[in-house]
Structure 1
Amino acid sequence: MATASNNIDLRVSLSYSQIITIALPISASLLVPQINFITNNIFLSGLGEKELGAAGITGVFYLIFGGIGFGLNNALQALISRRAGENRINDIGKIFSQGIFIALGIAAMGIAITYFLAPVIFRHTIHSQETYEMCIEFLRIRIWGLPFLYLYQMRNALLVGTNNSRYLIIGTLAEAVSNIFLDYTLIYGHWGFPVLGFNGAAIASIIAEFLGMFVVFAVIHAKKFHKTFHLYNHFHIDKPSAKLILVQASPLILQYAISIISWEFFYILIEHHGQRDLAISNTMRNIFGFFGVFTWAFAATSNTMVSNIIGQGLKEKVIPLINKIVHISTGLAILICIFLNLFPELFLSIYGRDEVFIQSAIPVLRVVSTALIIMSFSTVWLNAVTGTGNTLINLSIEFIAITAYTIYTWLVLEKFNMPITWGWASEWLYWIIMFTFSWLYIKSGRWKSKTI
């Protein structure tokens, strides 16, 4: 058997140290791209509020496709973790190779949508013609990084699912350094490079994503993971494995797509309030991204560890494990919330905006920082649902939450034209609903009969 020949054990324990061992490298790998994104925005803020606001719209649009890849990544990670818990090593390579094929197919569709459908949508939703033209030109460049991003996300699923998350940081660091360097040189034209302005950030991101992907696959080969997990033994279309991935991934892909599309809807409503509010909201998105990486790391840990221990046959240990992860995740989120509320100017000042901007952003920051606490435990429970393998439940929960979120934001921002502080309170509503239904499902025990 493959298990005997490989003589490796990928089963996880349920200790706090195991949780931290998995989560910390994931945090680092997620933190660096957020530093990239914030760096992009710092450079773009030097061009003006118009560019900073447009970066918010284009960033969320690209994030829609990133979220689709993240859904595929989560499904792949749960499947790989389950096979790791069952110690079925040979099947890991089969699942990974099919994930690659599916990811590249989705990337091709994403490029086509950006070129032909995005202009139609934005033309009817963005009020400013100048902002519309900036966004479309930027996205038609930026979208070519999507295949590299998806391949990058597939390796995340492999490394996290096989308890090798410590290697995540290597490729991520390569991407970060190259992105910061290219932002500096291409946006403003330093060191003999052309002055590309707003579009320079798009080109910088594409090159950085390619380098990150290249480095991480070099690491996989250097560590001989391609041999350990038989990554290329099944590098052809395998219909049963591809079907299994699509069955597991489709609800998650739809879940993340719906979630981020609703966020794009939110940003379009914010754009109707003017460039200042749009720029403030883009800054809030940076806060969610930067400080939320720790929460998302523990969420990914919840997914992989829950799936792994179910594969070990330890279903009775699932809820105690989730509670342990929640303790760490929420404790860290509370510390972050305290820091942001004690020193709001410290974070907001890095964008180089005026005092009026900072004072206008502080009330929104207080709402967002408390939303981080709610998100810290909600997303751990939600990803535990993913780990059980019943991804249709994830989609159902998302649909309920996003319906309430969309109605609320439309009423507050468009119908009653209330301040954006109230608009951002939608995050409280969203995450409370996500937690409530995830908790009820896990507590019900209905997931125990699910096999993947």
Structure 2
Amino acid sequence: MLGSAVQNIIALTDSVFLFHYNDIDFRAIGLVSVFYLIISAIGYGFSRGGQIIIARRFGEGDNRNLVRSFYALLYFELALAFIIFIAIQFGGAWFFKQIVSDLETFDRCVKYLLPRSYGIFFSYLGVIIVALYTGIGKTRFIVVDVAILAIVNMILNYAFIFGKWGFAEMGIAGAGWASSIAEFIAFVVFLIYMIFEKNKLVRGLFFFPKLNFKLVLQVFNVSIPIVIQAIIGLGSWFVFFSLIENMGGKELEISNLVRIVYLILSIPTWGFSSGINTLASNLRGSGNEGDVIPVIWKTVYINLLITVIISIPIIFFPETMLYPLFGREDMTIIYASQPLLYVLGLILLLFAVGAILFNGILGIGATKLGLWIQGSLTIFYTAYVFIFVKYFQSDLTVAWFSEVFYWFLTLVISAWFLYKYNWEKIKI
């Protein structure tokens, strides 16, 4: 769960500290962090494709090609990180100028994005390592490393945003630097752990084979549908927040608060989604295809139970549960978010089931079908948002209901595929 939620944790930490810094920076982080999640999701999507291949080779006992696939993923992601970094450095400000109406919000978005872009390299390297360890079922140290990243990020956020311990007060720019440095430190810690790892498979990684374009192409072909899914999925969410920004500053603040709660409560689902990628792929690789659907449903039940347990207190008692993070004399924003939190509760129930079923489809290798499903539903989602938010100028509750319809349809279509489609013929 934690390995899949690294960017969620960073976004949460940055948002909480900026909430206590000033309202303008808090509004801006709500928009720019969604954009950065798209950037992170590109690298994460390719790592998920690599993870599926690694899990399949591990299930087959083919360690030689497992290692070669790992390095194909590594070379590809490093090249991708460099391209995206250059694009952000030279085109990030221009892009935000086209979509942000408020000049102060635009200024804050750019101040965060430029230093944050340096973390792309270590973010992408980090998800590659997570893909390896998740693919071979050795996830224990991921917990330790994510904890280190979170702690370092919190400490640096406090120092850089507010100007503590001799550092200059940087506001939202400080949050960008804090997150990038935290990702660098977390990567170094994991690399040291790998060097002293006793696992023979991991210790056998420390050589650099020649670039194998065939394996790179294999990783690309499996991963690209997942990446496009992430781009269009989070891209539609970015469009959503861009339209909310045009509704006004207060609406953006409220939606940002709900988004943060969404990120917190969705951590189990993202984790179990990554886990079912590995389990489904591993079971197919070892020839146990009859166990795939039962394992998917067991994962659904566990995830749904955990999601309900952690969601009920926050959804129904936000003034108490959110006070440690967002408490101050003026509690207006928490009270104003209450109607949206009820909608969020429904979203989370559908998300907890639909996301697991959908990622089960990806795990068995049907990534192109997954792209078709998400692409079609994103068109519906985006059309809904434009119609009700931009033209009918509906309130936030109606706008957020787009997520309800999206995950309900995802759930229904994914369940139909698992039971009605002959997916056993899909090969990787």
TM range (shorter): over 0.9
Q: Which amino acid aligns with 1:163?
A: G
Conservation of the 8 A alpha-carbon contact between 1:75 and 1:252: yes
Per the alignment, residue 52 of structure 2 pairs with 78
Conservation of the 8 A alpha-carbon contact between 1:97 and 1:232: no
Conservation of the 8 A alpha-carbon contact between 2:265 and 2:311: no
* Structure 1 counterpart of 2:386, from 410, 413, 416: 410
Conservation of the 8 A alpha-carbon contact between 1:93 and 1:234: no
Per the alignment, residue 360 of structure 1 pairs with 336
Conservation of the 8 A alpha-carbon contact between 2:48 and 2:131: yes
Give the 3 Å change call, closer, same or farther, for CA 387–32 of structure 1 in structure 2.
Answer: closer
Per the alignment, residue 242 of structure 1 pairs with 216
How many positions carry a matched residue from both structures? 426
1:222 aligns with 2:196: yes
Per the alignment, residue 90 of structure 1 pairs with 64
* Structure 1 counterpart of 2:367, from 380, 391, 401: 391
Q: Which amino acid aligns with 1:413?
A: V
Deviation at 1:234, TM superposition (A): 5.0
TM-score w.r.t. the length of structure 1 is 0.91
Q: Which amino acid aligns with 1:164?
A: K
Please list the CA deviations of residues 280-318 of structure 1 after superposition, one character each: whole Å capped at 9, or x if unmatched: 111112112111111111111111000000011111111
1:378 aligns with 2:351: no
Please list the CA deviations of residues 15-68 of structure 1 after superposition, one character each: whole Å capped at 9, or x if unmatched: xxxxxxxxxxxx244566544432322211122221101001110111011111
Per the alignment, residue 401 of structure 2 pairs with 425
Please list the CA deviations of residues 160-206 of structure 1 after superposition, one character each: whole Å capped at 9, or x if unmatched: 00010112112212211211110111111111122111100000001
1:156 aligns with 2:134: no
Per the alignment, residue 296 of structure 1 pairs with 270
Deviation at 1:260, TM superposition (A): 1.0
Give the 3 Å change call, closer, same or farther, for CA 176–337 of structure 1 in structure 2.
Answer: closer
Distance in 2, Cα, partners of 1:77 & 1:274:
41
Deviation at 1:224, TM superposition (A): 4.0
Per the alignment, residue 39 of structure 1 pairs with 13
Give the 3 Å change call, closer, same or farther, for CA 222–399 of structure 1 in structure 2.
Answer: same
Give the 3 Å change call, closer, same or farther, for CA 344–352 of structure 1 in structure 2.
Answer: closer
Conservation of the 8 A alpha-carbon contact between 1:255 and 1:395: yes
Please list the CA deviations of residues 310-331 of structure 1 after superposition, one character each: whole Å capped at 9, or x if unmatched: 0111111111111111111112
Q: Which amino acid aligns with 1:257?
A: I
Any idea what SS the aligned residue of 1:418 has?
coil
Conservation of the 8 A alpha-carbon contact between 2:38 and 2:231: yes
Structure 2: gaps (5+ residues)? none
Any idea what SS the aligned residue of 1:432 has?
helix
Distance in 1, Cα, partners of 2:115 & 2:71:
28
Structure 1: gaps (5+ residues)? 1-26
Higher mean C-alpha displacement, 353-362 vs 148-157? 353-362
Conservation of the 8 A alpha-carbon contact between 1:90 and 1:229: no
Distance in 1, Cα, partners of 2:49 & 2:82:
20
TM-score w.r.t. the length of structure 2 is 0.95
Distance in 1, Cα, partners of 2:24 & 2:242:
14
Deviation at 1:229, TM superposition (A): 6.4
Please list the CA deviations of residues 213-239 of structure 1 after superposition, one character each: whole Å capped at 9, or x if unmatched: 111121122114475463244532101
Any idea what SS the aligned residue of 1:164 has?
coil
Distance in 2, Cα, partners of 1:393 & 1:370:
26
Per the alignment, residue 244 of structure 2 pairs with 270
Identity of aligned residues (%): 29
